[in-house]
């Protein structure tokens, strides 16, 4: 089972999680990160690194963010892999 990036990452994009991912599963969109479920090994290393608690195991995604499971799978496939820490976006 993969991990999923959910709404708290939107317009935030802290990338601390990216640096601990052993299999380079994170992909970068303009305003959010996604995890590719095809490469995620469910190690959970990224979860404690996220300062906004945006990453959940697929079976623990809150009901209000269930759509992010499909969104991560679909969007990650078309976006570049991110492997290095970057400056986060400014929160509004």
**What is the number of domains present in the chain?**
1
In a domain, residue 66? The reply is yes
d(CA 74, CA 77): 6
Q: What is the pTM of this model?
A: 0.94
Half-sphere exposure of 9 (CA within 13 A, CB side): 30
pLDDT digits (tens, 9 = 90+) for 65-77: 999 999 999 999 9
In a domain, residue 86? The reply is no
pLDDT digits (tens, 9 = 90+) for 2-47: 999 999 999 998 999 999 999 999 999 999 999 999 999 999 999 9
In a domain, residue 82? The reply is no
């Amino acid at each position: 089972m993969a991990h999923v990036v959910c709404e708290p990452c939107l317009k935030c994009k802290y990338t601390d999680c990216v640096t601990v991912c052993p299999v380079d599963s994170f992909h970068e969109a303009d305003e959010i990160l996604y995890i590719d479920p095809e490469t995620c090994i469910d190690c959970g290393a990224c979860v404690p690194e996220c300062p906004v608690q945006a990453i959940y195991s697929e079976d623990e995604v809150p009901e209000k963010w269930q759509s992010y499971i499909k969104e991560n799978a679909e969007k990650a496939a078309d976006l570049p892999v991110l492997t290095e820490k970057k400056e986060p976006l400014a929160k509004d």
